Structure 1
């Protein structure tokens, strides 16, 4: 039994599960959907750092977590938002993460795609030429590792662009240079407020038109698009307008089961931060979907949505804190410390609810370890058991 605080100052009893729901690694390759997990980084808690200083990363634990995801047949989306890109992980750290993870992917035969952005630029105003050059530097690095490219949304481009034509020009130049088809990433401002008005308009209908214009001009250079707007209807409408052969990778952590399952006119693949803690269940669900059993797929994933919506609740950009918290409880790392001190970004009741929901799903391979670690966290907040 464990006593958990709610948000109203009271304590309630919770009886933890004694069995794990997590399936074993291995299994047939995923066939009907391409699935990437956007993976978190593990901080090095023993290095003396400051919140605005360079990130200290535990490389062994970070790479071990990626091997965990690959062991289930998932792809890894590297150096993305989930890895605290732009929220504790600077470009120097991201570049090292990309190099190490890409090499590890080659060693174990894992699929990897890596984020290309402009975060080496110092804060402040930049010209479009400077933004383009920053993108090109990162593009060259990722392509040099052999990883697939994810063209991420750029804060610097959002600030510098005067309208849709600037997005068309910058992305057009980058797509012409890309050696292999890339994934275009549209990250909504709920994940990063600095990206409001991306694609040249705060009107999402107008922004969608520009986004599709970029793709239509270079369809052979676009493997797919990752859409992180948390609006299922908008994603469905967009994917129906994509050119033939261009995939839609859902980034909707609120509605992913229905979007991946699809409808009579198509479906979404996946590139999701919630598939960091849900990786084993996600792989199991897609293997069920591979057999044509959509109901079975939904039966596995639908119950996980409440946890995902909890972790991604506003302010959504702090979802990484819950993701790392669950990784600690699950035994994937020995501590609950994050680069940039981001472990402080959520409240104790938020952690309590995350633990309760994840335990109910059977996400913890060792429920007793998770219970003991949760009790240790509660003790630091003065909650006696």
Structure 2
């Protein structure tokens, strides 16, 4: 089947250009102005729309297997497609943890059978994500893991992280680290400071993140591993990464949309929809991650999509509530509305951070670019029509999202994965 996406503004090789995109079966066949409609089965009118490579998110939680009351591969991948994502990286904090070749092969098979987007699968760094015994890195790579992470838990001992980094370096795959020193949390459930005090909630100091970042950067230099830091959130972490990059450490890092858009001062009440890990930080931390993204210290954006049941996220109390918010369905439109329309980011910058950069850094060679011969993974966005984010519009099982009710631009009109419709706006 041939589809012609006609009249849109396409993001090609880092540039926004007026171009048509011709799709033949599963691949992009041609990109250019005024492509002929001869032999085309469907013409998609993209006049006034953005035609982008399918977005790439290397940090999602699909909760499948073992926690499917929160999310499944089917619902999570549909939510991703709704947000314009066509390739995602699924974290391993599921039950059972993919810490053996058999387990990860079973997850990859399930991802392929039930997912409507491409799903790259993380293996855990340690057995059962307990931070005490590293996995067989070569066997996990051979079984199909694209990277390693114990996300949701920081690896607490330097010795264990050192061994993990040596193992990952030997197989030339990244370790994506959740950086958190548990001994520095002191029972905190949000960022320590004035707002926590005002709400009467226990706070955890931000040094719980930056102290482990500092440790790991030294270990990364010693081992030569590709060390990737998940959801950077503090000004100290940004400065440490900036310094490490200047000294040749192979470090990359991501920032989540919520840490770009919100600070702890935005938590207006004791509302668990604002509880995540790492927590929302101070405004100067938020400004630091924006600056770090703009100057290249932070490499790209990843959502940390983390759905939970309503019972786990009571809106009137953070105490005892699960950490995390959803993000797949709101990331592009909230970032576009807040940062691009205000002139802080250019549209090309935002797209680069959500397509080419994560794909290239994680070796996802078939993702992140509009290019003839590549898979027809394409998202079409409406940048001109305002909508209000509503719970009823979510395709994820999780509705734990503090951006519900916001007015946004940049809604997804259509998502193609391998040339097939994965999502279409009604």
- Specify the TM-score bucket, using the shorter chain as the normaliser: 0.3 to 0.5
Structure having the larger proportion of residues in helix: 1
With normalisation by structure 1, the TM-score equals 0.48
